[in-house]
Amino acid sequence: MTTPLKSSNTVWHHATVTRQRRTELNHHQSILLWFTGLSGSGKSTLAHAVEEKLYQMGYHTFVLDGDNVRHGLCGDLGFSAQARVENIRRVSELAKLFVEAGVIVLTAFISPFHTDRNKARELVGQDFVEIYCKCPINVCEERDVKGLYRRARIGEIKEFTGISSPYEEPQQPDLSVITSDRTVEECAEQILDYLIQRGVYKPKHV
């Protein structure tokens, strides 16, 4: 698989509605929360829990979920190492547009390789927040209602992260959440506290 060459006739268009104007309208900054971790580590569950809390506070959010993206945008990709790289590249570009649109965007992808996550960080810049959902593989297997780990261990699924394909743990994530020992509520609150500290939004006092 090769990435199509960029056209020499395209020029980036600068919109009159700027990101700063969107921030003022939304009453919050935009940011990319990049959840990474093994299958079953709680990425999607936690991303949606955080989004729900932000939504209830009136903020503009969207979750880019790994399975959902592969239904459309990345529906043509398999799960080889090369396809995984392209999957994350596309998601990174899409997430960057969401950030420019003033949205708090949350992505839930295994994204197993340092190189791909670093490229996403380079693309998005200081608005990229790597959140490592830390969970031992045995706990992930216990949570596996789809039976993916079992099928991977008997060879039915090839290139499965954590079994037949490596997962490279983040060495210096912006935030680590221990999803094996803490509840979803506790992990979500940890992330919201981080966002307040970052100045993404100000807590609303009742």
| Residue-wise pLDDT tens digits, 152-201 | 999 999 889 999 989 999 999 999 999 999 999 999 999 999 999 999 99
State pTM to two decimals: 0.87
What's the maximum distance between 2 C-alpha atoms anywhere in the chain? 55
Residues 27-198, CATH architecture: 3-Layer(aba) Sandwich (3.40)
- pLDDT of 111 > 70? The answer is yes
CB 133 within 8 A of CB 48: no
From the list 39, 92, 111, 165, the catalytic residue is 111
The residue ranking higher by pLDDT, 14 or 108, is 108
| 4-43: burial string, b at 16+ Cβ within 10 Å, e else | eeeeeeeeeeeeeeeeeebeeebebbbbbbbbbbbbbbbb
CA 96 to the chain's CA centroid:
12
Predicted confidence band of residue 8 (pLDDT cuts 50, 70, 90) = low
Residue 39: active-site member: no
Tokens of 127: 């608005």
For residues 98 and 105, the answer to whether their CB atoms sit within 8 Å is yes
